[in-house]
Amino acid sequence: MAYDFTLSEIIPATPQQIYDAWLDSEGHTKMTGRTSIASTEIGAKYTAAYNYISGVNVELVSGKRILQTWRTTDFTDSDPDSQIEVILEPISGGTRLTLHHTNVPDDHTGYENGGWQTNYFEPMKKFFGEGISSTWPD
């Protein structure tokens, strides 16, 4: 069995800055603090968090939406890929990032219960909020 969940966080950056960093190897690495390989091409493979995460770009809408397959090295061979949808909405003071994570194996609740927050949202807020991203494209 698998389950779905949704998380939302406010990130102090524009939707385009987040989108561009998410899909750029250097930007994703700096934004999360973990080595990543990313691409802006539909169908392209990506890895994140020192190859712990891997997937494929499914649909990309510049500055608005990222849809990717997603799996970690903790998935078993019989687990199908899960999927993440990242929705970026401009708000006062930044962007509301809404993450829909679907088809997650039942025993992988850590992604919902701290994993995304610790490994993505908190580092992203620090990266964009403390001026670390000042050399990142506007």
Asked if residue 85 belongs to a domain, the reply is: yes
> In whole numbers, what is the pLDDT of the chain averaged over residues?
93
pTM for the predicted model, two decimal places: 0.92
pLDDT at 107: 87
Containing structural domain, residue 115? 2-133
pLDDT of residue 57: 98
pLDDT recorded at residue 137:
56
Whichever domain contains 78, its CATH number is 3.30.530.20
List Cβ neighbours of 52 (8 Å cut-off, separation of 6 or more).
Answer: 34, 72, 73
Q: What is the CA radius of gyration of the chain?
A: 14
Q: Which residues pair with 5 in a beta bridge?
A: 101
Residue 115 lies in a domain: yes
Q: Is the pLDDT of residue 19 over 70?
A: yes
* Residue 45 falls inside a structural domain: yes
> What is the per-residue pLDDT for 131?
59
The tens digit of pLDDT for each residue in 103-137 reads 999 988 888 888 899 999 999 999 999 655 555 55
Dump pLDDT digits (tens) for 80-99.
Answer: 999 999 999 999 989 999 99
Judge whether 84 lies within some domain. Answer: yes
Residue 78: what pLDDT? 94
Q: How far apart are CA 78 and CA 35, in angstroms?
A: 27
6: left (phi > 0), else alpha (psi -120 to 50), else beta? beta
Q: Tell whether the torsion through CA atoms of 46, 50, 51 and 53 is positive or negative.
A: negative
Alpha helix positions (H), 41-94? none
pLDDT at 133: 53
Q: How many domains does the chain have?
A: 1
